[in-house]
């Protein structure tokens, strides 16, 4: 077993995946995959060509059969992804990822007709179906399928794309993930994983930050041509799919999946970019606080006044669990199970996937959380963030599998809300004004990273996708120029991004595995800030309404669900109100810094 590269008390906080399968060669995996293929074949035989003709009772039974199949076949896929995340260099895990993807493609050949036939249901037909209480639970899933009617291909074409799926985008995603996980950063006499090196950008010693930044750049340049080729391939794959499916622009497919419109997303992007000046204001203050003449990219996350807190895994656990429990006993109970049971994988390990995530499985199975815990205070906030996802998944377990996961536009609400709970507890317990200022700066920088930085990422993606379609394959230098031109406006003249920074697009996995994803972070963060402000105003009376909001999962359109909290995301001024909350935090810093 790989040894942890950082000693934090989290070294033995590991997943136990045996509640899924005992090993990559567990015979139960093949048994489930074979059973899933047989079920898919029966499903096709029973329902192909009949979906629009079924009576309500048969229609509901059709969905129940599909739900049972998806519950079973989800487990091998999740197991493979979790195993591969623990060690991306493990050949057995890699083989299993390929095997379950191939099995999914085989099943998909037999179910490809289903969403196509659902999309052909008329308004009159669905009105009759939805009037029956047996079908009502599947209303949202049916409506989601119907909205793709203008973009569906023929069944033969869809089947061909399904057959090729394991060797198309998903293969490039896996290659990129393995390349990124293998990056080793040489600092002094040590070669360390990328996450550990990036953590040094938060250290108080400016020379160590500069050294870490230069070393990260050196490491990123080692294999950047290969990662650039992968990115170019994904860009072109997206262009081909958009052309075939008649999507008007590169992000329309993502917006449709997120249950929002191109116009609504553009309104969010415009609102955020109009307020870039807020970021520059903050970093001008930070420059004075750090007593330097110029800020560079390695100074963005420098702690103020050399006051930064480190904490053990147990300290982080107490802090985060206590924050959730103070908010709601029910929330605290659900979150505590992640610590009581082996549902978290926390240490920094060689070849472990970088970053953090929470993977929801199915409504009948618990989620898993992955971290790279380095013992910094921000890691506690990351833990709170991922456990917010976990709480969301566990509350949504009352939904069917089709409505279990929220769209990306709502997926970050619970995570950011959980961070806010934890941050407020930190601030409530802290009396040192220097540390309070430092923590407030930290929180603003995190919010900027989630709102402004992610929108700047969106601008990078927009430019990369657009230029790839107009100019052909983009070189490493061209991608670096696009990256720099997209990120520098966020800072204005307050931070100088050097030539070294041009390579830093090349480790961001979202650009590869989920094109168009990143704006959802800004959407979710601004929404979560507004939800949290509503909680602060309403107090305990708001708690149950919020938990019910999370329990809805993906069963309701985002605009309708947010209205249950007395907010309207279709209001053009909604995003400015969320941004005003951030502006108020910057003003607090300006005032504290002046004293």
Q: Which two tokens stand for residue 249?
A: 């622009």
Give residue for tokens 């990115």.
231
Bridge-partner residues for 345, per DSSP? Answer: 370
* Residue 118 and residue 51 in contact, taking contact as beta carbons nearer than 8 Å: yes
Give the alpha-carbon dihedral of 205, 206, 212, 213, to 10 degrees.
150
Element at 148 (helix H, strand E):
none
- Residue 303: what pLDDT? 87
Choose among 407, 412, 418, 414: nearest CA to 381.
418
User: Would residue 258 be called left, alpha or beta, if left means φ above 0 and alpha means ψ between -120 and 50 degrees?
Assistant: alpha
* Number of alpha helices (DSSP H) and beta strands (DSSP E) in the chain: 27, 5
Measured between alpha carbons, how far is 240 from 472 in angstroms, rounded to an integer?
13
Listed residue (259, 375, 377, 255) closest to 309, CA to CA: 377
**How long, in residues, is the chain?**
595
Give the tokens for residue 588.
């607090």
310 bridge partner residues: 376
Beta bridge partners of 376: 310
What one-character DSSP code corresponds to residue 296?
B
Considering only CA atoms, which of 480, 392, 456, 427 is closest in space to residue 592? 427
Nearest to 275 by CA among 50, 534, 492: 492
Question: pLDDT value at position 4?
Answer: 57
Distance CA 10, CA 281 (A): 38
Q: Specify the pLDDT at position 542.
A: 95
DSSP 8-state class, residue 398: G
Q: How far apart are CA 218 and CA 213, in angstroms?
A: 9
Rounded Cα–Cα distance for residues 588 and 592 (Å): 6
Report the alpha-carbon distance of residue 280 to residue 456 in Å, rounded: 14
What's the whole-model pTM score?
0.83
Q: Give 301-337 as a 3 state SS string.
A: CCCHHHCCCECCHHHHHHHHHHHHHHHCHHHHHHHHH
- What is the rounded CA–CA span in Å between residue 487 and residue 483? 6
Residue 217: count of CB within 10 angstroms of its CB: 20
Picking from 170, 1, 22, 176, the residue whose alpha carbon sits closest to that of residue 97 is: 170
- Alpha helices by DSSP H, listed for 252-302, are 252-257, 262-274, 276-290
Q: What pLDDT tens digit does each residue of the chain (595 aa) get?
A: 455 556 789 999 999 999 999 999 999 999 999 999 999 999 999 999 999 999 999 999 999 999 999 999 999 999 999 999 999 999 999 999 999 999 999 999 999 999 999 999 999 999 999 999 999 999 999 999 999 999 999 999 999 998 888 888 889 999 999 999 899 999 988 999 998 899 899 888 999 999 999 999 999 999 999 999 999 999 999 999 999 999 999 999 999 999 998 988 999 999 999 999 999 999 999 999 999 999 999 999 998 865 557 899 999 999 999 999 999 999 999 999 999 999 999 999 989 988 899 999 999 999 999 999 999 888 999 999 999 999 999 999 999 999 999 998 899 899 999 999 999 998 888 877 877 888 889 889 989 999 999 999 999 999 999 999 999 999 999 999 999 999 999 999 999 999 999 999 999 999 999 999 999 989 989 999 899 999 999 999 999 999 999 999 999 999 999 999 999 988 878 899 899 999 999 999 999 888 7
Q: 418 is written with which tokens? A: 């959980």
Are the C-beta atoms of 99 and 26 separated by less than 8 Å? no
Q: What is the 3-state secondary structure (H, E, C) of 189-250?
A: CEEEEHHHHHHHHHCCCHHHHHHHHHHHHHHHHHCHHHHHHHHHHHHHHHHHHHHHHCCCCC
Tell which residue, 16, 10, 170, has the closest CA to residue 86. 16
Question: CA-CA distance, 28 to 24, in Å (whole number)?
Answer: 10
Pair type for strands 368-370 and 357-359: antiparallel
Two tokens at 585? 């935090």
- Termini Cα distance of the chain: 52
Contacts of 355 (CB under 8 A, 6+ apart): 195, 370, 372, 509
What does the alpha-carbon distance between residue 346 and residue 8 come to, in Å, rounded to a whole number? 10
Q: Which residues contact 318 (CB under 8 A, 6 or more apart)?
A: none
- What domains are there in the chain, each with its CATH number? 17-167 (1.20.140.70)
CA distance 260 to 254: 9
Beta bridge partners of residue 191, listed in sequence order: 186
Taking the C-alpha atoms of residue 257 and residue 409, their distance in angstroms, rounded to an integer, is 10
In this prediction, residue 5 carries a pLDDT of: 55
Q: Is 359 helix (H, G, I), strand (E, B) or coil?
A: strand
């Amino acid at each position: 077993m790989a040894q942890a590269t950082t000693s934090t008390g989290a070294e033995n906080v590991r997943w136990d995946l045996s509640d899924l399968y005992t090993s990559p060669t567990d015979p139960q995996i093949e048994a489930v995959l074979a059973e899933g293929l047989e079920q898919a074949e029966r499903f096709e035989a029973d329902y192909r060509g009949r979906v629009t003709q079924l009576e309500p009772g048969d229609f509901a039974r059709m969905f129940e059969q599909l739900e049972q199949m998806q519950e079973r076949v989800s487990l091998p896929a999740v197991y493979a992804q979790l195993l591969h995340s623990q060690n991306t260099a493990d050949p057995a895990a890699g083989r299993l990822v390929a095997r379950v993807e191939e099995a999914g493609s085989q099943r998909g050949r037999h179910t490809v007709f289903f969403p196509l036939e659902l999309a052909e249901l008329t308004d009159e037909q669905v009105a009759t179906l939805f009037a029956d209480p047996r079908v009502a639970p599947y209303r949202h899933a049916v409506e989601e399928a119907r909205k793709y009617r203008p973009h569906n291909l023929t069944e033969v074409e869809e089947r061909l794309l399904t057959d090729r799926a394991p060797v198309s985008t998903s293969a490039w995603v896996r290659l990129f993930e393995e390349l990124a996980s293998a990056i080793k950063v040489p600092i002094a006499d040590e070669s360390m994983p990328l996450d550990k090196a990036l953590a040094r950008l938060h250290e108080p010693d400016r020379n160590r930050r500069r050294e870490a930044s230069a070393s990260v750049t050196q490491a990123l340049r080692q294999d950047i041509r290969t990662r650039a080729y992968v990115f170019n391939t994904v860009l072109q794959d997206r262009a081909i799919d958009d052309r075939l499916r008649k999507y008007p622009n590169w992000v329309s497919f993502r917006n449709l999946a997120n249950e929002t419109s191109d116009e609504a997303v553009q309104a969010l992007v415009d609102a955020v970019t109009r307020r870039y000046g807020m970021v520059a204001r903050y970093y001008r203050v930070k420059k004075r606080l750090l007593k330097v003449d110029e800020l560079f990219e390695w100074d963005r996350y420098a702690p103020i006044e050399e006051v930064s807190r480190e904490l053990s895994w147990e300290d982080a656990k107490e802090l985060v669990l206590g924050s959730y429990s103070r908010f709601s006993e029910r929330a605290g109970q659900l979150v505590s199970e992640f610590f009581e049971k082996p549902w978290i994988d926390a240490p920094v390990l060689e070849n472990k996937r970088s970053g953090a995530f929470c993977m929801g499985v199915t409504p009948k199975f618990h989620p898993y959380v992955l971290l790279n815990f380095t013992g910094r205070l921000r890691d506690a906030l990351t833990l709170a963030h991922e456990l917010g996802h976990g709480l969301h998944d566990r509350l949504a377990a009352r939904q069917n599998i089709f409505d279990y996961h929220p769209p990306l536009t709502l997926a970050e609400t619970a995570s950011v809300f959980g961070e806010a709970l934890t941050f407020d507890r930190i601030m409530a317990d802290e009396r040192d004004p220097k540390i309070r200022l430092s923590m407030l700066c930290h929180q603003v920088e995190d919010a900027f990273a989630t709102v402004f930085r992610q929108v700047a990422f969106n601008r990078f993606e927009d430019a990369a996708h657009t230029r790839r379609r107009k100019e052909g394959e983009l070189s490493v230098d061209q991608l670096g120029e696009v990256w720099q031109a997209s990120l520098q406006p966020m800072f204005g003249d307050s931070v100088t991004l050097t030539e070294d920074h041009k390579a830093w697009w090349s480790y961001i996995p979202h650009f590869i595995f989920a094109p168009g994803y990143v704006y959802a972070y800004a959407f979710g963060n601004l929404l979560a800030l507004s939800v949290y402000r509503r909680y602060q105003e309403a107090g305990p009376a708001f708690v149950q309404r919020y938990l019910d909001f999370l329990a809805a999962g993906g069963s309701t359109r985002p605009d309708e669900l947010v209205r249950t909290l007395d907010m309207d995301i279709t209001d053009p001024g909604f995003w400015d109100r969320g941004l005003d909350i951030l502006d108020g935090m910057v003003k607090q810093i300006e005032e504290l810094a002046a004293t």
